[in-house]
Amino acid sequence: MGEALVELNPARQAEVARALRAFLPARSVLWEVEDTRPYECDGLTAYRQLPMIVALPETEDQVQRILRTCSALGVPVVPRGAGTGLSGGALPPGDGVLLSMAKFMRVVRLDPLARIAVVQPGVRNAAISDVAAAFGLYYAPDPSSQIACSIGGNVAENSGGVHCLKYGLTVHNVLKVRGFTIDGDPVSFGAEGLDAPGYDLLALAIGSEGLLAVSTEITVKLLPRPQVARVVMASFNDVEKAGDAVAAIIAAGIIPAGLEMMDKPATRAVEEFVHAGYDLEAAAILLCESDGTAGEVEDEIARMRAVLAKAGATRTTVSRDEAERLRFWSGRKAAFPAVGRISPDYYCMDGTIPRKKLGEVLRFIAAMEKKYGLRCPNVFHAGDGNLHPLILFDANDADQLQRTEAFAAEVLEKCVAVGGTITGEHGVGVEKINQMCVQFREPELETFHAVKRAFDPKGLLNPGKAVPTLSRCAEFGRMHLHGGRLPHAELPRF
Considering the complex, what minimum distance in angstroms separates the CB of residue 48 from another protein?
23
Is residue 243 near another protein by the rule CB under 8 A? no
Is residue 265 near another protein by the rule CB under 8 A? no
Window 461-480: residues binding another protein (CB under 8 A): 466-467
Element holding 392 (H helix, E strand): strand 386-393
Any bridge partners for residue 386, and if so which?
352, 381
Question: Do 415 and 386 contact (CB within 8 A), yes or no?
Answer: no
Nearer to another protein, 6 or 252 (CB): 252
Q: Of 25-33, 184-192, 316-324, 401-409, which segment contacts another protein by CB under 8 A?
A: 184-192
Nearer to another protein, 72 or 398 (CB): 72
Is residue 421 near another protein by the rule CB under 8 A? yes
Window 91-120: residues binding another protein (CB under 8 A): 111-115
Our measurement of the distance from residue 284's CA atom to the centroid of its chain's CA atoms, rounded to an integer in Å, reads 24
**Residue of 197, 323, 471, 482 interacting with another protein (CB under 8 A):** 197
Our measurement of the distance from residue 27's CA atom to the centroid of its chain's CA atoms, rounded to an integer in Å, reads 30
Q: Of 74-82, 247-255, 264-272, 476-484, which segment contacts another protein by CB under 8 A?
A: 247-255
**Residue of 92, 153, 160, 210 interacting with another protein (CB under 8 A):** 160
For 43-74, the DSSP string reads: S-TTS----SEEE---SHHHHHHHHHHHHHHT
Is residue 33 near another protein by the rule CB under 8 A? no
Q: Of 77-85, 279-287, 393-401, 420-428, which segment contacts another protein by CB under 8 A?
A: 420-428
**Residue of 451, 479, 489, 491 interacting with another protein (CB under 8 A):** 451
Question: Do 464 and 2 contact (CB within 8 A), yes or no?
Answer: no
**Residue of 423, 434, 480, 486 interacting with another protein (CB under 8 A):** 423
**Residue of 22, 27, 443, 482 interacting with another protein (CB under 8 A):** 443
Q: Residue 224 and residue 183: Cα distance in Å, rounded?
A: 39
Considering the complex, what minimum distance in angstroms separates the CB of residue 114 from another protein?
4
Task: Tell me the CA end-to-end span of the chain in Å, nearest whole number.
Answer: 9
- Report CA torsion sign: 425, 427, 432, 435: positive
Window 116-155: residues binding another protein (CB under 8 A): 135-137
Q: Residue 39 and residue 59: Cα distance in Å, rounded?
A: 20
Considering the complex, what minimum distance in angstroms separates the CB of residue 353 from another protein?
7
Nearer to another protein, 105 or 203 (CB): 203
Window 297-356: residues binding another protein (CB under 8 A): 298-300, 352-356
Nearest 5°: phi and psi at 460? -95, -20
Binding to another protein by CB under 8 A, coded x per residue (else -) over 57-96, reads ----------------------------------------
- Report CA torsion sign: 193, 194, 199, 200: positive
Q: Residue 282 and residue 268: Cα distance in Å, rounded?
A: 10
# of chain residues touching another protein (CB under 8 A):
94
Q: Residue 214 and residue 212: Cα distance in Å, rounded?
A: 7
Considering the complex, what minimum distance in angstroms separates the CB of residue 40 from another protein?
24
Provide the 8-state DSSP code for 354.
-
Considering the complex, what minimum distance in angstroms separates the CB of residue 461 from another protein?
13
Q: Of 27-35, 48-56, 204-212, 398-406, which segment contacts another protein by CB under 8 A?
A: 204-212
* Other residues' Cβ atoms within 10 Å of the Cβ of residue 237: 15
Q: Residue 320 and residue 318: Cα distance in Å, rounded?
A: 6
Is 222 exposed, middle or buried, given 0-12, 13-18 or 19+ CB atoms closer than 10 A? buried
Nearer to another protein, 59 or 227 (CB): 227
Is residue 230 near another protein by the rule CB under 8 A? no
Question: Do 379 and 332 contact (CB within 8 A), yes or no?
Answer: yes
Task: Identify which of 370, 369, 405 has the alpha carbon closest to the alpha carbon of residue 485.
Answer: 405
